[in-house]
Amino acid sequence: MLFGDSPPPGLVGIARLASLSPTLQAKRTVEYFELPSRSLLNRTRPGLPFTWTANPYRGCEFACKYCYARYTHEFMAQEPEDFENRIYAKANLPHILRQELRKTPLHEPIAIGTATDPYQPAERQFLRTRSILEVLAGEAGRSVSITTKGDLVTRDIDLLQQIQRKNQIWVNITVTTLNTKLARLLEPRAPRPDLRLNAVRQLAEAAIRVGVCPNPILPLITDQEASLDRLAKAAKDHGASYFGGGILFLMPASKQVFFPFLQAEFPRLMRKYEERYRSQAYLKGAYPQIIRERINAIRERYGLGSGPVPIPTVPEERQQIGLFDEIGKITNTIRVR
């Protein structure tokens, strides 16, 4: 138990539940807890290409320096740095999801892995993502996407194929750079880029629709035309059918980790980042437009789409699928009959 047998006074809601969560395992700096949960599906704000998000874990061991989701640990009265070291596996998910799906219309898409990675190391042991895929395998007419850096996703190819028979499902594999050293700096505990690309190949060979997302594109670090071009070519060569990414955005909790990292590893960029992100989380103006055009031109060069092409599975259902980038813009939305 994190805080001993009784929670500190004043904690309510998710912060109280987190403080009471029993330890599942503690290894080196990372501790795993079981989080009592009341819900899995979270409704998104209007305008996104999916209506619901599903995150089987809170916290993410991959520890990306730029991670936008660190603020979610603040809801549990924890520090942004705890996000990568205190991982909460949600309890009782199959039962919760079955109940929630009864009230969730078929045309409302579900995105798995929007705030934490569903194939982070914890999944190898605790199988929370697999448990929700098992529930989805019993559904028909739904649209489901998975976003991950974890090559562990290939373990579940059998279930993904099962889901795909009666639903739309596709996998977004995030690869920010092909440079292994840079990836290790930016995403210290995530699988190497070549392992992620191998996962792309295996998914494509299993006829699961898969795309590569270079998210987030980091100004002056991963945004060069040549490196994005190489990444798109590798994506295509490994069987990805789409490629799309958005620019880094920095909420205060993310800045708290990213700026000290930048100061230590890229001190010459510090001033430029401070200027750009001083008063805004999202970059505006000419730069996002330049990146958008760059990505579009690269996609065209390699015949890559901006999102998955729908497969006619359940003709009587209308479904909506789409891909959004990390500046919150919908890059592709398709309705299929």
Sequence-separated (6 or more) residues with CB below 8 Å from residue 230: 178
| Closer to ligand SF4 by Cβ: residue 120 or 167 | 120
Closest to ligand SF4 by CB, 63 vs 89, is: 63
Kindly tell me which of 63 and 137 has the beta carbon lying closer to ligand SF4: 63
* Beta carbon nearer to ligand SF4, 14 or 257: 257
How distant, in Å, are the alpha carbons of 2, 76, 83, 141 from that of 32? 10, 15, 11, 35
> Least distance (Å) from ligand SF4 to the CB of residue 257?
10
Q: What are phi and psi of 91, to 5 degrees?
A: -90, 150
Q: Closest distance between ligand SF4 and the C-beta of residue 102, in Å?
A: 29
CA 231-116-250 angle, to 5 degrees, is 70
The CB-of-138 to ligand SF4 minimum distance in angstroms stands at 27
Nearer to ligand SF4, 67 or 217 (CB): 67
- Residue 319's φ and ψ, nearest 5 degrees, are -130, 155
- CB closer to ligand SF4, 254 vs 319: 254
| Spacing of C-alpha 26 from chain mean position | 24
To ligand SF4, the closest distance from the beta carbon of 148 in angstroms equals 8
> 67 or 321, CB closer to ligand SF4?
67
Distance CA 250, CA 238 (A): 31
Measured distance CA(257)–CA(311) in Å, rounded: 41
In the complex, least distance from residue 291 CB atom to ligand SF4, rounded to whole angstroms: 19
Nearest residue (CB) to ligand SF4, 64 versus 234: 64
Q: Nearest approach, Cβ of 214 to ligand SF4 (angstroms)?
A: 13
- Distance of closest approach, residue 62 Cβ to ligand SF4, in angstroms: 4
- For residue 82, the minimal CB distance to ligand SF4 (Å) is 12
What are the residues binding ligand SF4 (CB under 6 A)? 60, 62-64, 67, 69, 116-117, 149, 187, 190
Give the bridge partners for 110, in sequence order. 52, 144
